[in-house]
Amino acid sequence: MSGSSAQAATAVGTPLPMLGKSDTKPTWCPGCGDYSVVAAIEMAVKRLKLSSNNVVIVSGIGCSSNLPHFLSSYGFHGIHGRALPIAEGIRWANHGLTVIATGGDGDGFGIGAGHFVHTMRRNVDMTYVTMDNQIYGLTTGQASPTSMMGQKTKSTPTGVIENPLDPISLALASGATYVARGFSGDVKQMADLIAGGIQHKGFAFVDALSPCVTYNKINTFDFFRQRVYKLESAGHDPTNLVQAFQRSLEWGEKIPTGLFYKVDKPTYEDLEEVLSTGPLALQPTGLRGRESILDEFI
Ligand SMILES: Cc1ncc(C[n+]2csc(CCOP(=O)(O)OP(=O)(O)O)c2C)c(N)n1
Ligand code: SF4
Ligand SMILES: [Mg+2]
């Protein structure tokens, strides 16, 4: 879990009431899949009894990236594609906090793809929830890295000609230690997956199939309802990386949801020399070992 509550209390003071909705109401279109994702995050965090001041939700830019405004935790609405480096910085400064990054498929797998890969490779202890609607929603309907071949969008009037990126197999290949897929049509399953991700020590990735009801008329709630099945009811073994890769290749008549893979490995915070001694926020400032460094050069 991203920091014990005792450590968090030391780091940020007396815990405030449990996390819940904020006073800001979502501005998403009626029926947008992202309503289910914010509800799932709220359910997961409440189940884990995390208080508002021990959770930070960080996002980039996009419809989905407005999410931090709608919950009563700390939040950071960043810039397009940069949710993960900001979240990583927060974790390193104070890994007594539970850090959740959120955003869209364009934000995370397009402009932010480099950060996506490298944050997973480092196994930073945080949870990343993408609202994958396979379109750029905020900018009114251009193709995204997960748009399906042939899909006509504002930026691809004759159909997408690029292969879609698969976030699940990319996460497995990049070293994420918890890899899952949820669907906005099943809030309870998504809450379970997010709660599992927050409790997991290491980088947890939850790709939420979260339909854009306004600009993606292909990957709709009905499209997914006809295709999704649960990995746990199909005998999938989430400790088996090869099986996880095999399942990740399924995208067609059947689309798996649930936990693809989970493994325990040391986190970046465990291995890094300074971070392993505690959150930076609680450490003395200044350069340590200054004399020995100067001696080396004088
Ligand atoms: C550097 C930069 N490039 C482009 C944009 C324009 N822009 C804003 S949101 C967005 C894509 C949003 O798509 P996604 O991340 O999938 O989020 P959604 O709106 O679908 O939830 C783009 C291209 C920007 N704000 N900043
Ligand atoms: S444009 Fe699409 S992603 Fe954006 S709020 Fe509306 S339905 Fe949701
Ligand atoms: Mg999108």
What is the residue-averaged pLDDT of the chain?
A: 93
> 133, 64 in Cβ contact below 8 A?
yes
Q: What is the pLDDT of residues 249-279, one digit of tens each?
A: 999 999 999 999 999 999 999 999 989 998 8
What is the predicted pLDDT for the residue at 4? 38
CA distances to 1, 11, 175, 185, 273 from 135, in Å:
32, 39, 26, 18, 41
205 C-alpha to ligand 2 centroid (Å):
22
Ligand 1, residues 105, 138, 213: which to mutate, most atoms within 8 A of Cβ? Answer: 138
pTM of the model: 0.93
Closest ligand 1 atom to 144 CA = 16
Distance 138 CA to ligand 1 centre (A): 6
Which residues span the domain enclosing 91? 27-297
Answer for the pair 155, 180: CB distance below 8 angstroms, yes or no. Answer: no
Q: Give the residue, by CA position, lying nearest to ligand 2 atom 6.
A: 29
- What CATH code is carried by the domain that includes residue 230? 3.40.50.970
Instruction: Label residue 280 by pLDDT band (50, 70, 90).
Output: confident
Is residue 47 in a domain?
yes
Whether residue 19 lies inside any domain: the answer is: no
Nearest one of 256, 217, 219, 218 to 236, comparing CA atoms: 256
CA of 229 to the centre of ligand 2 (A): 25
Looking at the domain assignment, is residue 93 inside a domain? yes
> What is the distance in A from the centroid of ligand 1 to the CA of 172?
25
pLDDT at position 3 is 39
pLDDT-derived band at 187, boundaries 50, 70, 90: very high
Domain-located, residue 22: no
Tell me whether residue 234 is in a domain. yes
Residue 277 located in a structural domain = yes
CA of 188 to the centre of ligand 3 (A): 22
User: Which residue from 32, 59, 131, 210 has its CB within 8 A of the most atoms of ligand 2, so it is best to mutate?
Assistant: 32
pLDDT in tens, 198-256: 999 999 999 999 999 999 999 999 999 999 999 999 999 999 999 999 999 999 999 99
* Residue 1 within a domain: no
Task: Report how many domains make up the chain.
Answer: 1
Over the stretch 138-185, which tens digit does the pLDDT of each residue have?
A: 999 999 999 999 999 999 999 999 999 999 999 999 999 999 999 999
Task: For residue 266, count other CB atoms closer than 10 A to its CB.
Answer: 12
Task: Please state the φ and ψ torsions of residue 168, each to the nearest 5 degrees.
Answer: -70, -50
